[in-house]
Amino acid sequence: MQGWSATLSTAVGAASSAVMAFNILGSIMDTISNPDLTGWERFTAILGSVVMLIPAIVNAWSGFAAVATAVKTAISTGTMATTLNTIAKMINAAATRE
């Protein structure tokens, strides 16, 4: 099982890929509705966007799946409770320091 910092990093990467995918979809919609583009320009712009869209979707999907698996494993093994308890102790210790 990967550490929590790696899981958080994976989650941020997956979210970033998902946002990128939504932006690319918006770009494709803008390209389709742009009356100033010729058919060829529209085709090449959409093709370039689709080439970037596919990896963004795959990365987001696999990243979210990895995070879901890590959380499921942590919950089933009790690791999450231990980690949250440790964090609470650290916060309490920091708050009570003078």
pLDDT tens column, 5-41: 777 788 888 889 999 999 999 999 999 999 999 999 9
- Which of 9 and 97 is assigned the larger pLDDT? 9
Question: HEC states along the chain?
Answer: CCCHHHHHHHHHHHHHHHHHHHHHHHHHHHHHHCCCCCHHHHHHHHHHHHHHHHHHHHHHHHHHHHHHHHHHHHHHHCHHHHHHHHHHHHHHHHHHCC
